[in-house]
Amino acid sequence: MGSIIQNAANNFTTNGVITASGVNNTSVSAVTSLPSGLGGSLTLISSQTASASASISFTSGIDSTYRTYLFKFINIHPSTDQTSLNVNFSTDGGSNYNVTKTTTVFFSYHNEIGTSGLLQYRTADDLAQSTSDQQILYEMGNDNDQSGSGEMYLFQPSSNTFVKHFIATGQLSLSADYSLEQFTAGYGNTTSAINAIRFQMSSGNIDAGTIYMYGIN
């Protein structure tokens, strides 16, 4: 990497303007991959598409194969207006979704007509040593054009030593016609392996949308 950085530096004048030779410099093309320390590969494990579904659960594929799991939820559309997408975890393969969690939530929003906006910490939506579902997409609208999308990272769920940290971010169309971005984070307070995960609405079904599960090493 050192020789490439030096060659690139030689292609600029002291005023920061790229030289003609720099435009045709082919030495940089020798970089075919990034150093392993910059991140691992992303592997699609499975996906599920909702169709008036009570919930979407992943009960296989969450094991010690990957240190980190990434869930991407795309255009989640609720059947009921003003309902939230929730998540919970299982240590018994999906027989029970009741892992004790401590979490924190904040979001920002702005309405369509531009008269109201806010950045807010949501004490009403966080959990303190609770087995309840954790909300990750807040009170979406069910108009035909409304939905929510986002992603959630679950870190080393197979550890038998540490609690299970997770981070979720999402963007949605609020039922009151607001654009809302939500940030949720916390941990499952268990040293048992988490091996299943469930997504469901706070009320009604998931009318449409797809959730993808990836493994990262």
Identify whether residues 103 and 192 lie together within a single domain: yes
Q: What is the CATH number of the domain that holds 92?
A: 2.60.120
Sorting pLDDT into bands at 50, 70 and 90, what band is 27?
Answer: very low
Same domain? For 78 and 18 the reply is no
- The type of residue at 215 is G
Angle at 98 between CA 94 and CA 101, to 5 degrees: 130
Domain assignment of residue 161, given as a range? 36-216
Non-local (6+) Cβ contacts of 140 within 8 A are 76, 77, 78, 82, 83, 84, 85, 146, 147, 148, 172, 173, 174, 175
The pLDDT of residue 1 is above 50: no
Out of 28-32, 49-53, 145-149, 186-190, least confident range: 28-32
Confidence band for 66, pLDDT divided at 50, 70 and 90 = very high
Residues 158-194: tens digit of each pLDDT: 999 999 999 999 999 999 999 999 999 999 999 999 9
- Residue 13, classed as helix, strand or coil, is coil
- Entry pTM: 0.81
Q: In this structure, are 109 and 14 located in the same domain?
A: no
pLDDT number for residue 41: 87
pLDDT at position 26, please?
42
pLDDT (mean) for 82-108: 98
Is the per-residue pLDDT at 19 higher than 60? no
Check the CA dihedral 197-200-205-211 and report its sign: negative
Instruction: State the average pLDDT for the chain.
Output: 88
Looking at the fold, whether 198 and 92 belong to one and the same domain comes out as yes
Residues 27 and 48 in one domain: no
Averaged over 26-48, what is the pLDDT? 63
Mark whether 99 and 49 lie in a shared domain.
yes
The residue assigned the tokens 């910059």 is 38
Same domain? For 22 and 129 the reply is: no
| pLDDT confidence band for 28 (50 / 70 / 90) | very low
Same domain, 119 and 189: yes
- Phi and psi at 172, nearest 5°, equal -150, 165
Whether residue 30 has pLDDT greater than 50: no
pLDDT tens-digit series, residues 200-216 = 999 999 999 999 999 99
Tell me, yes or no, whether 108 and 188 share the same domain. Answer: yes
Q: What pLDDT score was predicted for residue 18?
A: 55
- State the residue for tokens 């949605």: 172
Residues 14 and 52 in one domain: no
Same domain (yes/no): 17, 84: no
Residues 25 and 49 in one domain: no
Number of domains the chain contains: 2
What is the structure's pLDDT at 2?
46
